[in-house]
């Protein structure tokens, strides 16, 4: 990822609070500012319950910040838009639609002609390794396969930025490693800007061009790391392990 590439998504002085059941406000985000560059794989890494999902929802336009701004290509973000695709930990697939129906749903909603959206959907179904499963329904698929459908569906809507919120958090360890390899392969094949949220340090190091380390709630940026390691990466590479140790040392000691 070239540092001279264009900034596509930016948040400045972002803060957010929720109403507390006991009265008053509960701050979730502090003063958060960062940029995401075109075709970058940026990972937001922090402890559980630190506000990562809240931050992602603000970037997606699914919620409005208490203060601060979010901009997509220089324009304020006030609502969801096809330019920002979202993949959550739970896939939220439509159970009444087949794999093909789920993947082509976005282009169909956008009015794309049937032949074109079928061609595009088939391309991404093939890309995520689900060729032959087009007529299956979500309840006929494993968790990892369902997440592949979710990724294909997000890509098929042709977003400029893909926001991924701990998409492998509920998978078993072996499937999680496999899906990390798949996402990295898909990102290299179908270049796209990805902002990926995780609380798993190995996952962050395996995928990221750049890692933003977040503090405990209220969430703020603790430090940034450029991950200048060759791809595909190895979990036992000495450089990988050194950076893992450095980031672990820097993490909030109260987590």
If one counts the domains in the chain, the total is 2
| 111 and 61 fall within a common domain | no
- Lookup: tokens for 9: 């998504």
Q: Are residues 37 and 142 in the same domain?
A: no
Q: What confidence score (pLDDT) does residue 90 get?
A: 76
Are residues 28 and 140 both part of a single domain? no
Kindly report the average pLDDT of the chain as a whole number. Answer: 90
Residue 7 CA to residue 97 CA, distance in Å, equals 36
Same domain flag for 146 and 169: no
Q: In the numeric block, which tokens belong to residue 196?
A: 């990926």
135-139, 156-160, 184-188: range with highest mean pLDDT = 135-139
Rounded to whole angstroms, the Cα distance separating 250 from 225 reads: 11
- Look at residue 55 in the predicted model and tell me its pLDDT: 93
* Per-residue pLDDT tens digits for 118-131: 999 999 999 999 99
What CATH number did the domain enclosing 79 receive? Answer: 3.40.50.300
CA distances from 186 to 29, 73, 189, 254 (A): 31, 24, 5, 36
Q: Are residues 153 and 69 in the same domain?
A: no
Place of tokens 């789920």: 102
> 97 with 41, same domain?
no
DSSP run (H or E) holding 37:
strand 25-37
Same domain, 47 and 100: no
In sequence order, which residues have a C-beta less than 8 Å from that of residue 208 and are 6 or more positions away? Answer: 41, 42, 43, 45, 196, 225, 227
The pLDDT of residue 57 is 93
For residue 172, what are its two tokens? 């078993």
Region 71-89 average pLDDT:
91
pLDDT at residue 255, as a whole number: 46
Distance CA 118, CA 168 (A): 27
Boundaries of domain holding 11: 1-83+161-255
What pLDDT is recorded for position 252? 53
Higher pLDDT, 18 or 36: 36
Last residue of a domain, one of 141, 158, 175: 158
In this prediction, residue 3 carries a pLDDT of 53
pLDDT score recorded for residue 253: 55
Confidence of residue 173 (pLDDT cuts 50, 70, 90): confident
How does pLDDT run across 207-244, given as a tens digit for each residue? 999 999 999 888 999 999 999 999 989 999 999 999 99
| pLDDT value, residue 46 | 87
Q: How far is it, in rounded angstroms, from Cα 57 to Cα 70?
A: 11
Within this chain, do residues 166 and 250 fall inside the same structural domain, yes or no? yes
Last residue of a domain, one of 135, 158, 181: 158
Same domain, residue pair 147 and 170: no
Give CA separation, 134 vs 5, 139, 182, 194, 211, in Å.
37, 13, 19, 26, 35
Same domain, 247 and 152: no
Same domain, 181 and 223: yes
Alpha-carbon distance values, 67 to 2, 17, 163, 180, 196 (Å) = 31, 9, 21, 34, 23
Distance, CA of 178 to CA of 49 (rounded, Å): 25
């Amino acid at each position: 990822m070239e540092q001279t590439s264009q900034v596509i998504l930016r948040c400045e002085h972002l803060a957010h609070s929720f109403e507390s059941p006991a009265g008053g406000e509960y701050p979730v985000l502090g003063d958060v500012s960062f940029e995401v560059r075109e075709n970058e794989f940026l990972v937001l890494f922090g402890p559980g319950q630190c506000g990562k999902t809240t931050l992602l929802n603000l970037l997606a336009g699914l919620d409005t910040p208490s203060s601060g701004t979010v901009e997509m290509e220089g324009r304020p973000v006030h609502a969801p838009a096809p330019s920002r695709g979202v993949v959550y930990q739970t896939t939220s697939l439509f159970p009444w639609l087949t794999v093909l129906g789920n993947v082509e749903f976005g282009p169909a909603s956008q009015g794309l002609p049937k032949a074109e959206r079928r061609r595009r959907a088939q391309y991404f179904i093939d890309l995520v390794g689900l060729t032959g499963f087009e007529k299956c329904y979500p309840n006929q698929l494993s968790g990892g396969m369902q997440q592949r459908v979710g990724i294909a569906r997000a890509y098929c809507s042709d977003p400029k930025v893909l926001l991924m919120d701990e998409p492998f958090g509920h998978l078993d360890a072996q499937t999680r490693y496999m899906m990390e390899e798949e996402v990295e392969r898909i990102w290299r094949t179908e270049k796209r800007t990805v902002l990926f949220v995780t609380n798993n340090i190995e996952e962050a190091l395996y995928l990221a061009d750049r890692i933003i380390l977040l503090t405990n709630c209220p969430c703020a940026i603790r430090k940034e790391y450029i991950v200048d390691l060759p791809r595909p990466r190895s979990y036992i590479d000495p450089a990988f392990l050194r950076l893992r140790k450095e980031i672990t040392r820097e993490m909030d000691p109260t987590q």
